Every structure is written in structure tokens, then in C-alpha cells.
């Protein structure tokens, strides 16, 4: 499974700008524009999929700093939820042991 990072905001977000930022950092990814319903309002966003799971956190740091995000949704093979829970202290949750 590839990892995904989804970001959105009320005003325009250009996914091409997001993917160009990641390309400059040599992070392999794809970005798709989307619209989300959040707390009764429509937000414009990007769903970003990564070629390498290890690129997710470096990408998040770049995106949040450049575009001013404070939250995002992460989906990996072992986690689905807020990016804050995923990168708390830069220690992503480890998957549970396989029985």
C-alpha cells in the first residue's frame, strides 16, 4: 500500500504548486485535486500519494511550512488519522505484531 497525505483549506489550493515543491525536494509523489466537506463547509484540497512511505514526514514538513497547514489526514498500511498523531515526536506508530 502506498501512503497518502490529504490537505485542504477553505481558499484555493493549487496541487501543481504542492507537487512542484515536492519535486524540488526530490520527493516522488502524485497529487490529485479534491473537494471536502469539513464542519459544514467545502474545502479545496490535494490528496498526495508517495512512491516511498519514508517520504511522507519530510513532505509534510515542507507542505505545512510553505502553505501554512496545521493539520492533515494520513493513511498508511498501519495508520489512518491526523498527521499530528502520526508524527508525534517524529515517531510514527509501529504496526501491531503479526500473530
**Tens digit of pLDDT for each residue in 50-90?**
988 899 999 999 999 999 998 899 999 888 999 988 876 45
Average pLDDT for the chain: 86
Q: Domain range spanning residue 49? A: 3-88
* C-alpha 98: how far from chain center: 27
Count of domains forming the chain: 1
Model pTM? 0.81
Element (H, E) at 3: strand 3-9
Residue 98 resides in a domain:
no
Q: Output the CA torsion sign for 30, 24, 51, 67.
A: negative
Task: Provide the CATH number for the domain around residue 58.
Answer: 3.30.70
Residue 21 resides in a domain:
yes
Neighbour tally for 55: CB within 10 Å: 19
Largest CA distance in the chain: 46
Amino acid at each position: 500500500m502506498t501512503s497518502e497525505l490529504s490537505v485542504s483549506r477553505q481558499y484555493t489550493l493549487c496541487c501543481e504548486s504542492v507537487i512542484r515543491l515536492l519535486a524540488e525536494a526530490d520527493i516522488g509523489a502524485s497529487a490529485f485535486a479534491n473537494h471536502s466537506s469539513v464542519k459544514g463547509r467545502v474545502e479545496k484540497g490535494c490528496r498526495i500519494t508517495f512512491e516511498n512511505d519514508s517520504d511522507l514526514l519530510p513532505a509534510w514538513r515542507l507542505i505545512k511550512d510553505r502553505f501554512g497547514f496545521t493539520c492533515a489526514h494520513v493513511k498508511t498500511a498501519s495508520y489512518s488519522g491526523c498527521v499530528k498523531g502520526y508524527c508525534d515526536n517524529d515517531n510514527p506508530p509501529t504496526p501491531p505484531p503479526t500473530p
